[in-house]
Amino acid sequence: MKKFIFIFLITAIVTATAIERSPYYSSPHHKVFEQFLGEWDVIYANRNDKGIPSGGRGVAISDLELGKTVLRISSKLDYDLGEIQLYTVIGYDKNLSKYYFVSYDNSGATPSLFWGEYKSGSRMFEFKNYEKYPSEGDIRLEVKLERDDKFIIKSYIRSNGNDVVSTDMAYIKK
């Protein structure tokens, strides 16, 4: 009887582990997402076209989904007009050998899609919607783990040949 219970427990653990991880999981490319897991307080600032910031606070939860192949960050942010629910998904496209960043919210704005890379030395994802020839209005994003209990998401917009911060969000672990 003890042998049966032991074998049953081992089988249950192996089955549960197999269900949690996708067959497409790639350790080096997907493991970096684990740094960003948890519950976070959010402080954010948006800058208008004159550079004047407005911002607020919110909360976020980040977890792994789809067999640990994507990082999903679900944020609730307080704005003047009401609460914004913001969803960000970061994943890795093995066919293109690039990371992707998808962001959408309940404001009715068009979802954003960016392609980029992870720079392990600086613990940062960099995403762009331009490649060789950045033009006015193009956007660059950084998702950077500044320390184990804090990461930032910054968006830069190309203006007069320079990248100017348009959104600055700090996620601080609860």
Question: Among candidates 27, 99, 35, which has minimal Cα distance to 68?
Answer: 27
Cβ proximity of 131 and 116 under 8 Å = no
Q: Sign of the C-alpha dihedral, residues 148, 172, 33, 92? A: negative
CA distance 44 to 131: 27
Q: What is the pLDDT of residue 160?
A: 83
| pLDDT (tens digit per residue) in 128-157 | 887 666 666 788 999 999 999 999 999 998
Measured CA to CA in angstroms, residue 62 lies from 23, 27, 28, 35 at distances of: 22, 19, 19, 10
| pLDDT (tens digit per residue) in 104-134 | 998 877 788 999 999 999 999 999 887 666 6
Overall CATH class of domain 26-173: mainly beta
Which of the 8 DSSP states describes residue 121?
G
List phi, psi (to 5°) of 101.
-130, 120
What are the extents of the domains in the chain?
26-173
Question: Among candidates 46, 140, 55, 50, which has minimal Cα distance to 101?
Answer: 140
The model carries a pTM of: 0.81
Measured CA to CA in angstroms, residue 154 lies from 13, 52, 84, 105 at distances of: 40, 16, 17, 17
Tokens of 29: 């490319």
CA distance 133 to 115: 15
Q: What is the pLDDT of residue 164?
A: 85
